[in-house]
Structure formats: C-alpha cells, structure tokens
Amino acid sequence: MKLRPDQLDGHTQKNLLPVYIISGDVPLIQQEVCDKLRAAAKKQDYTEREIFSVEKGFDWNNLTQSASNISLFGDRKIIELRMPTGKPGDAGSKALQAYLSQPSPDNLLLIITGKIDAATQRGKWFKSIDKVGAFIPIWPVDVKQLPQWINQRMRGIGLEPDRLAVQVLAERVEGNLLAASQEIEKLHTLKGSGPITAEDIQQSVADSARYNVFGLVDAALEGNAPRSLRMLAGLKEEGTDATVVLWALARELRTLYAMTLQKEKGIAIGKVLQEYRIWQNRKKPVEACLQRNNSQLLGQLIQKATEVDHSIKGLKKTSPWDGLRDIALGLSGIQVLP
C-alpha cells in the first residue's frame, strides 16, 4: 500500500505493518516520518533498534541474522536499513524478498532511501513490500505550496500568522523546509502562542546566527568569494551539518544549470528569471551569476556536489568541506576545478 506523510497519524493508531519504505529527497519530512514510526513502534513495545547502512560491499547476511536473533527478554525490535541509492542490488533484492516472504511479528523493518525511480518500483523486492507493508514517498514542497505548508506548520504549534508574515517567511527560506521549521520553532520560543506579524518574522531573522546557509549562497551568487569563504568557515565552526550546506548549494546549482541552458538557447534572461519564479530581491545576483557562468562550468560544479555527497556518506575519503569550498568559489566566479 502507499501512504502519504499526512496519513501517518491515523495509520499509527493501529497495529504497525511489518515493513515501511520511506523514500525521498526532503530530509526534514523524511526524518519526521521516521520519528513518527519510531514513536508509534515504541508504544507497541518495540524497544530494541538496529541500524544498518547499505553501502558498497554491504553484507546482506546482517539483515538475515538480525531478523533471526531472538531477544533474551522477548523484546520487539526495529531494524533500520539506510539505503541512500534506493537500489539494493541482486544480493539485496534476494535478501529482502526472503525477509518479506515471512516477516517476523517481532520485527519492524524501516527502509530509508533517497528517491526511488519507476524502474526500481517495478522490481520484485519492491513489489514484495507492497504485499505486506507500505511505501511512503516524500515529495518536495514547491514554491506555490510553501506558504500553505508554512501556515499549517505555524498553526499546528499555536502560532497565528497573518498573510504577510507567511509570505515574508516563505521568501526568506526559499524552499528550504529545514530552515523554515527552525525559524518557526524559534518564533514560538521567542513569542509563544498567538498572533505573528511580518515584523515579528523580520526581527527573528535579524536575530539569526551570523553565518547561515542562505547568506553563503547569496554571497556566492553576488560573486563575493571572500565573504563566501568566511561564511563557509563560520558554518563549519558553528557545527552546521555539511549535508544542510550541500543541500542549499546543490539546489541552487540545479536551478542555475537549467536556467543557463535556457539562456544558451537564446531566451532572454528576464524571461528565464520569470519562468523560474526568482524572487524580486534575488533577480540581480542570480542574473549576475548566469552572466559569468555557462552550462559546462555549472555541470562541473554539480558533479563536485555529487562527490561531496559521497564524502558525507563515507563513500569517498575526502573532506566534504573542501568540496563545499570549491563549489562556493566556483559559484563566485573563481574556477578551481580542472
């Protein structure tokens, strides 16, 4: 069966299914879905938890052994398979099919993956999940949906934003749900429940930490390499997760690349900016970045972002922060890649 994230509250009031696959490229929503399932499992006496990261060379016997190990105290167990690619390979497919053919009532299997393509969904292992478990796809919140998402989230914790407040916050976070969630939580801490105005949003933003991922992206778009590097160093020193920085830079790169392809076809930049709904206050830096970059350079930076992602996941023995530096410099107009 297929479930939407907003259906989970009602679903978890019943007995949980043996297996769930949570798939998508929106870390905040994916994390919240997993947290809801774990919390529901805890209420249903799943007290143990084992985590496996499916990387190159992963031994699928680990899953079989974990599933067959019986607790001395009769405890039920959550088994988490973190599979970023969403592709288990031949050995993994066979192991999952074997597991799903007779799932233990004392185990809950959570398979946490990146976005799963249509071809993978046609695989035998995936179809096995449909028979006994649930597939929870996580879809991005687009620009049009973001204000509604923000409004619902704020009202869900007792905040009562006016329309302009929602608009200001939407413009501030520009699609980054994690940043939106953090700003909303901070507002609640500062203001408590009740009405929220645009002025409250602006004051909260002004009180933010000196270094933030949005400032880094904006500095790079403006071509301000020294400021980009200072902000990147500040983010690292403050303990910011490299994944969050990569998310912001990679998101910007993908959009810029698509826009550059349009520009190289001869479409006027003004029309391209309009088509991609670039906020008014960002049109100038985005246009400047498009003028000094071409699709080849941006393609190289996207490839670098993939390498950084591998570094973060431990698939590549390099520092992700070095790669993030190269991306920031490249966006700023200083080409450090071969």
In a domain, 78, yes or no: yes
Length of the chain: 338
Q: What pLDDT does 211 receive?
A: 53
Q: Identify whether residues 165 and 270 lie together within a single domain.
A: no
Q: How confident is the model at residue 209 (pLDDT cuts 50, 70, 90)?
A: very low
Q: What pLDDT does 311 receive?
A: 92
Q: What pLDDT does 142 receive?
A: 80
Q: How far apart are CA 20 and CA 110, in angstroms?
A: 5
Residue 199 has pLDDT above 70, yes or no: yes
In a domain, 337, yes or no: no
Q: Identify whether residues 166 and 234 lie together within a single domain.
A: no
Q: What is the CATH number of the domain that holds 305?
A: 1.20.272.10
Q: Identify whether residues 238 and 195 lie together within a single domain.
A: no
Residue 180 has pLDDT above 70, yes or no: yes
In a domain, 224, yes or no: yes
Which residue segment(s) compose the domain that 264 sits in?
A: 213-332
Q: What pLDDT does 238 receive?
A: 77
Q: Identify whether residues 62 and 120 lie together within a single domain.
A: yes
Q: How confident is the model at residue 115 (pLDDT cuts 50, 70, 90)?
A: confident
Residue 163 has pLDDT above 70, yes or no: yes
In a domain, 338, yes or no: no
Q: How confident is the model at residue 56 (pLDDT cuts 50, 70, 90)?
A: confident
Q: How confident is the model at residue 337 (pLDDT cuts 50, 70, 90)?
A: low
Q: Identify whether residues 16 and 114 lie together within a single domain.
A: yes
Q: What pLDDT does 207 receive?
A: 46
Residue 302 has pLDDT above 90, yes or no: yes
> pLDDT tens for residues 19-44?
999 998 888 888 889 999 999 999 98
Q: What is the CATH number of the domain that holds 97?
A: 3.40.50.300
Q: What pLDDT does 104 receive?
A: 83
Q: Identify whether residues 246 and 321 lie together within a single domain.
A: yes
Q: Identify whether residues 250 and 326 lie together within a single domain.
A: yes
- How many CA atoms, within 13 angstroms, populate the side-chain half-sphere of residue 277? 7
Residue 308 has pLDDT above 50, yes or no: yes
Q: What is the CATH number of the domain that holds 188?
A: 1.10.8.60
Distances (CA, A) of 168 to 99, 139, 141, 178: 49, 23, 17, 16
Tell me the pLDDT of the chain averaged across its residues.
Answer: 86
What's the mean pLDDT in 203-221?
71
Residue 236 has pLDDT above 70, yes or no: yes
How many other C-beta atoms lie within 10 A of the C-beta of residue 199?
Answer: 11
Residue 338 has pLDDT above 80, yes or no: no
Full-prediction pTM beyond 0.75? no
Cα 262 to the chain's mean position, in Å? 27
In a domain, 18, yes or no: yes
In a domain, 91, yes or no: yes
Domain end: 138, 169, 188, which one?
Answer: 138
Q: Identify whether residues 181 and 102 lie together within a single domain.
A: no
Q: Identify whether residues 130 and 23 lie together within a single domain.
A: yes
Q: For tokens 């994690």, name the residue.
A: 178
Ranges 1-5, 34-38, 59-63, 201-205: which has the least confidence: 201-205
Q: How confident is the model at residue 205 (pLDDT cuts 50, 70, 90)?
A: low
Q: What pLDDT does 72 receive?
A: 55
Q: What pLDDT does 270 receive?
A: 86
Q: How many domains does the chain fold into?
A: 3
Q: Identify whether residues 37 and 84 lie together within a single domain.
A: yes
Residue 329 has pLDDT above 60, yes or no: yes
Q: Identify whether residues 181 and 217 lie together within a single domain.
A: no
Residue 222 has pLDDT above 70, yes or no: yes
In a domain, 90, yes or no: yes
Domain end: 206, 225, 255, which one?
Answer: 206
Q: Identify whether residues 9 and 119 lie together within a single domain.
A: yes
| Contact call for residues 153 and 184 (beta carbons, < 8 A) | yes
What percentage of the chain carries pLDDT values higher than 70? 95
What are the phi and psi torsion angles at 318 (to 5°)? -135, 160
Domain end: 138, 165, 186, which one?
Answer: 138
Residue 11 has pLDDT above 60, yes or no: yes
In a domain, 59, yes or no: yes
